Structure 1
Amino acid sequence: MSSLTDSNRLVLGTVQLGMSYGIANTSGKPNQSLADEIVSKAWQGGIREFDTAQIYGESEIILGKSLQNLGLSDKAKIISKPSPEQSLLGKGTVELLIRESLERLKIKSFYGFMLHKEDQLSEWDEGLGEQLQKVQADGLAEYIGVSVYSTEKALQALNTEGIDIIQVPSNILDRRFERAGVFEKAAQLGKTLYVRSVFLQGLFFMPLENLPKHMIFASPFIQAVTKLASDNGLSIHELALKYAAQAYPHAKILVGAELPEQITENMEAWLGDGPEDLVNQVRHIFDSVPEKVINPVLWK
């Protein structure tokens, strides 16, 4: 039986390779050489899946070059998503977009291809589902999925035949999908969840003195996360990842990095078991968190 913290449960999110991303990002977008180091470090650590998207700046191009430079183009499992601004209902549109992404990445097929806009689920029965299942049948993508923001759309996706993989945001503070039974239902149906935003886009690491004025409302929660980590003898990295390992035992966990050393930090934080009662501690302390704290869309 595999461990809760097997490194093959980690997925490298590559938005940082294509653009400056995250409230705590101070390094900006890495150059190609640095991107190669990041991808190499992830591969050496046991990570085999890489998540990208057409809207992530130059992420597909840079990731593709890194995989090519490292001789991993035929080995790595890549998940991408079409631009959420692009209509997908036109005949052949999905196949065209997939082929464009494959060309940028210099690979032959995707491990997974996900809708990037949850509202497009409403178009599934209008021909979109048929298009996606065709590219799957043609061998351009092994699994079809969707990235969602709401629990309602996550449950709709789980109930949609033809959708195999679903990406959701979830972390110590954001437990909406746990409460809605999304993780339990996915396990029952044999569908795979990918959990993003385990560090709440880097908010957990923000020094309070660097918190933007319009984000001051989040400071008590950052302090509480810091205290919980300290009380358990953990770093914030360890707290967030060990919670994810325990709370979402059947899910894949996305982590990002703009520097190679952050890959090492994430791997070290992920490995090894955390306190047995960590999940209960988190659920007790963070029983109720305002949506404006857990939803980055409301930070602006």
Structure 2
Amino acid sequence: MSKTNLILGTVQIGMNYGIANATGKPDIKTAREILQAAWDGGIQEFDTAIGYGESEKILGVILHEMGVSSLAQINTKPHGSWNGQDFSEVKKDLEASLKKLHVEQLNTLLFHNEAILESWTPKISDAVNALRDEGKIRNVGVSVYSADAAMRALSNPAIDVVQIPANLLDRRFEKAGILHKAQSLGKALQIRSIFLQGLLFMAPHQLPAHMAFAKRDLADLHHILCESNLTLTAAAIGFVQAEWPGCKILIGAETQKQVLDNLDAATIQISPEIIARIKKQFPDVSEQILNPSLWGK
């Protein structure tokens, strides 16, 4: 089993998720197949959260049944509503997560609310460092939505990991120099939303009426991929691997086949010419497309 730079996101095994999700939440048999295929393919890191429905519970049970709980690297998130005040809430969430996951230590405790960066205090740093000293966590991370928040997180001595969105259409964090900043500080980056919550898989005619604003860019993207003889999966993973070297890449899956397709795609190297064409075609895509919170209903 060779290692990979992919992290399996497990929101899909805990709840319905993604605009292009046609199958819904997998049953327990499918969840086992997903996790087994990931592990056999070299994926040893998993992303979950208290807020992902039954994800923590299902992940914990299946990894325990597989006999790999002590080997797996698990990242989870406390409730996103935590405002940086009473850290006992975070500790309570952490203990609940460890129990459900059948592990004694998290790889990364990942805060899912970038607003806490504005209220971060030395007391919070002391609290997370105490959790490290107790062996409850290895790393502390923050998932962010803006380049400014990424810079603040990277500059925080108590934060080891920053999770950011990036994909075929999204240049924001690249232009802000986030990769160089992380490398200069020895911090780890995780890249999420490489499929833009499934939007990139959709043909323009499949878009709901309230998302007609994305039709032109989707059509242009699919045209480039068709001419380049690339699948969306291969292009999305290969592009991020090329543009964000050394970074972990978060993927999700609703079926075993999707896991296997992602693993295969991760072995495909995209030519510099195709990468340059994509970057030229999409230099500054509207945030209305890049930010799912702006999609409306």
| TM-score normalised to structure 2 length | 0.96
Amino acid in structure 2 at the alignment position of 1:40: Q
Within the alignment, does 1:186 sit opposite 2:186 as a pair? no
1:49 maps to 45
Q: Does 1:176 align with 2:172?
A: yes
Deviation by residue 1:184-223 (Cα, 9 ceiling, x = unmatched): 1111111110000001111111132321000111011111
Residue 201 of structure 1 is matched in structure 2 by 197
1:81 matched to 2:77? The reply is yes
Counterparts of 1:7 and 1:28, CA distance in 2: 29
Give the Å deviation of 1:91.
4.8
Whether the 8 Å CA contact 1:11–1:252 is kept in 2: the answer is yes
Cα deviation for residue 74 of structure 1 reads 0.8
Equivalent of 1:251 in 247, 250, 254? 247
- Which residue of 1 is the match for residue 63 of structure 2? 67
Structure 1 residue 96 corresponds to structure 2 residue 76: no
Aligned partner letter, 1:158 = L
User: 1:53–1:81: 8 Å Cα contact kept in structure 2?
Assistant: yes
Cα deviation digits, residues 235-291 of structure 1 (max 9, x gap):
111111110110000210000001111001111111132113333222111012111
1:71-106 per-position Cα deviation (integer Å, ceiling 9, x unaligned) = 111111000011112345225332222111101111
**Which residue of 26, 46, 51 corresponds with 1:30?**
26
Please give the root-mean-square deviation of Cα atoms over the aligned residues, in Å: 1.3
Match of 1:166 in 2: 162
Shift of the 261–48 alpha-carbon distance from structure 1 to 2, 3 Å rule, reads same
Between stretches 270-279 and 195-204, larger displacement belongs to 270-279
Counterpart amino acid of 2:273?
D
TM-score by length of 1: 0.95
Q: Residue type of the partner of 2:121?
A: D
How many residues in Structure 1 have an aligned counterpart in Structure 2? Answer: 295
Q: Where does 1:119-138 land on structure 2 (aligned, <5 Å)?
A: 119-125=115-121, 127-138=123-134
Q: Do 2:69 and 2:103's aligned partners in 1 also have CA atoms closer than 8 Å?
A: yes
Does the 8 Å contact 2:203/2:219 carry over to 1?
no
The CA deviation at 1:229 is 1.1
One-letter code of the match for 2:160?
D
The 5 A counterparts of 1:214-293 are 214-293=210-289
CA contact (8 A) 1:94 1:132 kept: no
For each residue in 1:137-188, what CA deviation from the matched residue of structure 2 results, as whole angstroms up to 9, or x when unmatched?
Answer: 1111101110001111100001000100010011111110000001111111
Which structure 1 segments of 5+ residues have no match? 1-5
92-101 or 245-254, which deviates more: 92-101
Deviations for 1:96-152, whole angstroms, at most 9, x for unmatched residues? 221111011111110111111000112221622221111111111101110001111
Runs of 5+ consecutive residues of structure 2 not aligned to the other structure: none
Find the residue that maps to 2:164 and give its secondary structure.
Answer: strand
